[in-house]
Structure 1
Amino acid sequence: MFLFIPRKACQNLKTSMAAPTFIFLIVSAIWNVAAAETGGGGPRNISRGSSLTPTRSSSSWLSPSGLYAFGFYHQGNVGYAVGVFVAGIPDKTVVWTANRDNPPPATTNLTLQLTADGRLILQSPQGQGIPIVETSENISSASMLDTGNFVLYNSEQGIIWQSFDYPTDTILPDQTLSANQELVSAASETDHASGIFRLKMQSDGNLVQYPVNTPDTEPFAYWASNTGGMGNQVTLNLDNSGHLYLFNSNITLINITEGKPSKEDTIFMMRLDSDGIFKVYSHSLEGDGNWSVLGQSTTDKCVPKGVCSLNGFCVLNDDKATCRCLPGFDFVDPRNSTYGCVRNFIAQSCKDEHRSTENDMKVVENVKWGGEDVSYLELSSVTKEECKEACLKDCNCEATVFDNGKCSKQRLPFKYGRRSLENSNTATYVKVSTSDRPVILNKDPEKEIKKETRMDILIIGVSLAGLALVVVIISGVVIYRNRIWVHRMISEKANYELGDDVCLRAFTFFEMEQITNGFKHELGRGSSATVFKGIIPYTQKVVAVKRLENMPTEGEREFHTEVKVIGRTHHRNLVRLIGYCIEGANRLLVYDYMINGSLASLLFTARNRLNWDERIGIALDIARGILYLHEECETQIIHCDIKPHNILMDENMIARISDFGLAKLLKPDQTKTFTGIRGTKGYVAPEWHRKRPVTVKADVYSFGVVLLEIICCRCCLDWSLPEEEAVLEDWVYECFEAGELGKLIGDEEIDKRKLERMVKAGLWCVQDEPSLRPSMKKIVLMLEGTVDIPTPPNPTSFLSTNYRYII
């Protein structure tokens, strides 16, 4: 039994002159006893051996007042999650989630335990103990406090962990967001996994909103407090009146919201919502009303960058954000326009001599784009028609942006687009196929879906009326095949585990849906593929499933052959391909899951910088993996897209090369190939642009760029830096020539001879002339320190034959 007495009623009882003091004490005692019966009366000592289950009355540990609770809560229709939520109101509101991107299995047979040996774990039916938090000391006890803070103690009652230090998408009164901490929005209102927006308290004192997986730079910001330069002592704070403000030592820098007079029966929170807008909410404990918005970062729902993803732009209709596609593009998922847009025609090759007669330019007015500049050539003093024609005649041009006489040629994809009257002088021209069907920019996706649904219902109704018996038979066969047979197959394989030496497994698309739980947990998205996290049910092996998009059906044989060749590669520095699925238009690849993410996140966005030895070990891992592809593999492979984003780190921090989507396979007697440009800007070897034969030395160039990035812990192209430092390889050579290598590593203490060796190896790799670049075998020897490295010349200068002995 839980007794909830409003604070206001208690106050009236306490202050009433007519009520004896002992009556108030009796009521207080009843309050404590009632709370104790539900597990909420003694949260100061949630002791070892305590446990919770999601389907019983003991599903959470309550705070003393019963306002907050820690434990299980429903998440959508998939099961339960663990976190902190507001329990003292009818609508449970989640304010913190444990392991938000690694949800518990979708089952009710779960147990949350504070074990006898001092661990807080989630016990699954298979006996697997999933840690809820990681602590440096064993847990002696725990508390759910009335502030909404869940706290863990050691044997001396010292705090060793608290949820306030690890916010997800919400902060509560008395909780702060400190330097380099950030909130990440939820995926949706019902799914508390990480979404696509973040709010970061930067170390310079500026509070800024960005899309996730972007640098902390101005082109990606869409809201800021403009308090930069105040230092790393600035914190974001929320008080008990809903007043949100930035605080530095003893000075309030800026009031973001004013709040309202404090009331004991009102609670507050600040949340970064799934739409990318942070809001301050209030809720009255008297009654069953909803949360009210006290203040927000913006009322314009098109302001957050990334609302409409790639090649889409946002239009504000009656305060509602609507996504539209560029001409010649369709939504990736018509039922969710925020997933972005893809071409609805096959782009022509630049080798086609008659391509200019098959393309046209379509216009989108008053749209502004953001993010990285994807222009590669700018023209001035031209008309709109001249701007269109310039792109139409340029095979590499995919779109142009015309703005007051200035024309910039662009390459796709476009990012962070929004239509606004403020941009009335801009026009975006997109190259489309003349055979493409007309594109109606003003169509409403929801109305189109409803229209298609009504037509489908009509067709199905007519078909059922005439072919009822056939439909029943076909339905029975399909159900038997896809349900009973697949279930039996999985049951028979219950004890089967994929070994490291087993050949590729061919999965059905139905199995892929089971493994990924309906493609629910998205890990990342590119221009032609989306990666999902999954679990193979009969082995409980965690995998990454890459779903390829817009691959033509006629390429099935080539795709099948390439998958088999890559599947035969086995090396500790390559991400292992476990299996694949080719079924109709569906093409999926199943890889080992790499728990520590990409090298890019560790080099460019990690809070703690990798030390020198770790970085050189990673460089050696990458070099050995490329060496295997070039010289030790049965079929020689040119990867074509070596970059930190395609280097993944496993649980032991061993680097593994991934993403062979652009790889080129060479025949046994073939050493070079001609092909269209592949790869990523900044990492592409010069011979790609010069239409010269491409060899394995293209990968050597890309590795050289990555090696210099590993040395300097920065991106190869960074236009926020001074002009002389923006292009990494040019700056590194200038520092090398001037004998100022210390500039590359800042204050880090490194053996100068080792640093010079690594820099010289990297500069040899990025030589413009492919024949002067070392082989990967020679590079491995350089990095291991077993060969002498001559002084490299300027990578972009004319090189004499005196250097050719390095190869």
Structure 2
Amino acid sequence: MLWSSSGIREARKEKGSAQPRWSKKLGGLSFHNSKIRELSDGNRVMETELSFGQTTFLLWVPPFLSYELWKLRIELSNLVGQTASKLAAIITTEAQKGESIVNLGSSLTPTSKSSWQSQSGFYAFGFYQQANGYAVGVFLAGIPEKTVVWTAIRDKLPALASVTLNFTSDGRLIMQSAQGEETAIANPPERAASASMLDSGNFVLYNSYKKIIWQSFESPTNTLLQGQRLTAGKELLSSVSESDQSTGIFRLKMQTDGNLVQYPVQTADTSEYAYWASGTDGKGSNVSLCLDDDGHLYLLNSTGTILNNLTQGGYPTKDVVYFMRIDVDGIFRLFSHNLHKNGNFSVIWSSSDNKCDPKGLCGLNGFCTMIDQDANCLCLPRFASVIEGNWSSGCERNFTAESCKSKDVGMKYIMQAVPNTVWEDNSFSSLTILTKDDCEAACLKDCNCEAATYKDGVCRKQKLPLRYGKRVLSDDNIAFIKEAISTSTINKTEPLGREKYSQKGIMILCISLGAFGLIMSVISAIAIYKNRVRAYRRLSNSGNVDLTMDVSPRSFTYSDLEKMTNGFKEELGRGSFGTVYKGTIWNGQKVVAVKRLEKVLTEGEREFQTEMKVIGRTHHKNLVRLLGYCHDGENRLLVYEYMSNGSLADILFNPEKKLCWDERIEIARNIAKGILYLHEECESQIIHCDIKPQNILMDEYRCPKISDFGLAKLLKPDQTNTFTGIRGTKGYVAPEWHRNQPVTVKADVYSFGIVLLELICCRKSVDWSFPEEEAILEEWAYSCFEAHELDKLVSGKDVDKRQLERIVKVGLWCILDEPSLRPSMKKVLLMLEGTVDVPIPPSPTSFLSTV
């Protein structure tokens, strides 16, 4: 994009700038002040000023194109005469800075000269050791930890030490064995004339015109580097292990529908196999995953619009490198490394906090369970690991299973229960049965049934192997595994009163149930197919899998909600916006929370539906999902997803449910992420107005989700908790509510600060059971901070002292009386994560904070 000198003046009104990186002049034509600029709409461009005579042009290019600046020669051909050729020459020269040219005839061997390094020496292309041999790829050579970021022909067996990598005189890049066998490393569309390892980590091949004809950035393996993109239709594949870069068992796909999704390998791109998604499906056919120099990881469409910020960016850029990788465990993470500090890479973002989320982690017949913060794989009863220590290899029977037609009277079967586990539903028959004992019996009677799952009166018969197993303590699903034992053992283990079937009776029953099962399987297959087709179009938020779509919540009638809640029979709680009842939808298969709003504004149908659609389009893992609403006469009700662990208040203030320090800090970060989304990232800015532990609900994984957002504007002016005209709860409302000052997002920052202090201390903000000087938490916290007695806030428990001081300082900054002095939620999150320093806060009610 070219702008005239008048355009430069306008462009400089946009926010953000950087120091000039270089300047160059040629025959009156100057090419200078290259910088990264953030525009007012949030997008980023590389800006360069071009001057010729009295005319100055401003060139803007998306940052991810900076490694392809040579392409701009075509666009600049519209300039007059020699200006274009001079300008193109300059751009070509600048594009080649930071590269080290490899000429035809060059070669590498694993044991002598093993790599071609970039000009800075930070990246290298060549041989690295793998198992008992060598592989070819790009790796970080400028730090002690040699980290591989790209691998050529990754599933080829490691090469021997006698192999040679040749850049032949006819422009081919090949690996040649001692016996003369050749393997192509790259397949460019035309003959290469030179190659280069760029400082960006991109290994490229040029033709004789210095045009890039092949580059490693366009065929990523498991990693994205700064300036690299994962384009539509491409995917990253995890490695087998940290030391083996062969293809692993997980993939991250940038789908053509705009959705970024994680799946196990060798599965269809459908929702039942997904375990994480960005929720950007339907946003365009040319969406890319991009990583900027400041750690900004985001999804960008073809018009330059950012669809989803996976990270906010703004991280340090000096002497820091960032890269994103789908790891061996199936979770993709953003890493950073300070070049002047020894140590490993630091994780600054990950797609999931639950390491059991990736489907297939434990292989066939294995299931994943969390122990503290780590995943652990277990086998089904009477099964053992196929390869000890290799989880993905799965589990196999440690007994011989007899055929259905076996006449061995010495072998009988019992059912072993594996409670609180969920598995892929690959059932061949589904029965509606009253009890789990009936489900066991039905599987025992069916010769074809090797396992069964039971939940909510539905028994699903399955054949082995079972896959995608995970223990979820809040889920009532039970798996039953058929186990063969000898007759002498069965008398000891079979439950008293279990019916004994003769061989003839079992045979007749098997034939009958087999015929019945065949009919039921056909019906079930049709139902399952239709359900799976609809599933990818529906909102899905099961566990941590976030397959969200930009659709409006459903409208219910009042009679619908009466049936769903059984006449509003079971009350879950009462809040500032109304009473919440337990209900079910989808024929009782999904539990929901139904909130009856009280004293809401009597708006028209269109206005109320508009507000509901705005709330319904807010999709974030730390916000409670709005599934539907009711606007029927005077009735106003909302239908939310159900949170099985209640509210944060139920856990935080309950001595029997103590949260450890790390859990509390992680909860604080996640709450901050949810508020930041409401303030800066959702379609319409939302000020919550009532952030408190009671409005922060906890899902089955104890992940916090903010509720009641977007409802403040629906309340009548006199609908308050404690003060007329004030929306919020005493102890959490910001001071500006009492001063008739305009209320901004900083009111939520104040409330978050109070909640943060409560998380630190595991107590309520106002509690008169404490001594008078400790009763008001915000005053006592600052007193302890000023006196360097922060241990008192955590009752002397052993916690990270530096982290405690940082978190307390963040809380004190949030609760300053003057709203303009409080940090934004973006700054709060960066301080909580330790990305930016936290200065010493003033007293919350000091003179400086009230002037």
- Tell me the TM-score normalized by structure 2: 0.46
